[in-house]
């Protein structure tokens, strides 16, 4: 069964030929993507291995740069766009180096790549913001209930004191009907 394109990795020289750019330009573009959180696969010797998704990211970056974006701004946009699409799976090398296998590297499909740092930060920030909103809403609701209880209790105490005051006033000023008849006022 032939391997899928996503399982075939290429070294810098082959990719620069495929994309029709110099190795130096390819490395500059790759470094810009990596500075913005894009994770490139490397073999045991530290060499970058480019897969189909990586080459697509380089082409997107090249297009954005042509539209007068700086390389770092364009790389940031490409990384964010790639977060919404399928990111390359983790691709660790099986011990094959460039001399033994030419410029093509085969992958072990069971191994996985960690998420991009920016993607993790975005997810954490989204969860934190949602949790903060929920917590703030609960705190505000709890405070409002406490204030309502306090106001209600104060109102009850005021009404009770007014009744007491009114009753004591009427007790002190209560006169019999005879004294009201004969009083001078």
CA dist 57 and 79 (Å) reads 8
Residue 73 lies in a domain: yes
Shared domain for 50 and 25, answered yes or no, is yes
CATH classification of the domain holding 62: 1.10.1660.10
pLDDT confidence of residue 115? 45
Contact 40, 54 (CB under 8 A): yes
Tell me the HSE value of 177 on the side-chain side, using a 13 A CA sphere: 0
What is the percent of the chain with per-residue pLDDT over 70, rounded to a whole number?
70
Shared domain for 46 and 88, answered yes or no, is yes
- Using one digit for the tens of pLDDT, what is the confidence trace for 114-173? 445 666 777 788 888 889 999 999 999 999 999 999 999 999 999 999 999 888 877 776
**Mean pLDDT, residues 34-38:** 88
Mean pLDDT rounded to a whole number for the chain: 77
- Using one digit for the tens of pLDDT, what is the confidence trace for 135-151? 999 999 999 999 999 99
Last residue within a domain, chosen from 87, 113, 139: 113
Shared domain for 106 and 28, answered yes or no, is yes
Q: Nearest CA to 9 among 55, 46, 44?
A: 55
Residue 181 lies in a domain: no
Contact 23, 13 (CB under 8 A): yes
Shared domain for 22 and 68, answered yes or no, is yes
Residue 40 lies in a domain: yes
Query: DSSP assignment of 54-83, as one string?
Result: HHHHHHHHHHHHHTT--HHHHHHHHHHHHH
Last residue within a domain, chosen from 66, 89, 113: 113
Shared domain for 96 and 153, answered yes or no, is no
Kindly state the tokens that stand for 46.
């530290």
Domain count, the chain: 2
Last residue within a domain, chosen from 70, 95, 113: 113
Please tell me the pTM assigned to this model: 0.45
Shared domain for 89 and 60, answered yes or no, is yes
pLDDT at 27 over 80: yes
Segments forming the whole domain that contains residue 48: 5-113
Element (H, E) at 49: strand 48-49
């Amino acid at each position: 069964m032939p391997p899928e394109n996503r399982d075939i990795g290429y070294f810098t020289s082959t990719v620069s030929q495929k994309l029709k750019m110099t190795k130096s330009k390819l490395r500059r573009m790759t470094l810009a993507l990596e500075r913005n959180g894009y994770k490139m696969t490397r073999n045991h010797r530290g060499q970058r291995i480019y897969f189909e998704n990586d080459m697509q990211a380089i082409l997107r970056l090249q297009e954005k740069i042509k539209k007068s974006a700086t390389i770092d701004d364009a790389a940031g946009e490409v990384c964010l766009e790639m977060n919404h699409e399928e990111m390359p799976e983790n691709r660790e090398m099986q011990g094959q180096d460039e001399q033994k296998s030419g410029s093509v590297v085969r992958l072990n499909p069971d191994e996985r790549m960690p998420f991009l740092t920016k993607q993790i930060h975005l997810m954490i920030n989204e969860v934190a913001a949602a949790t903060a909103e929920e917590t703030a809403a609960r705190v505000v609701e709890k405070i409002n209930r406490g204030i309502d209880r306090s106001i209600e209790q104060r109102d009850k105490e005021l009404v009770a004191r007014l009744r007491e005051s009114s009753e004591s006033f009427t007790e002190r000023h209560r006169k019999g009907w005879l004294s009201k008849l004969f009083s001078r006022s």
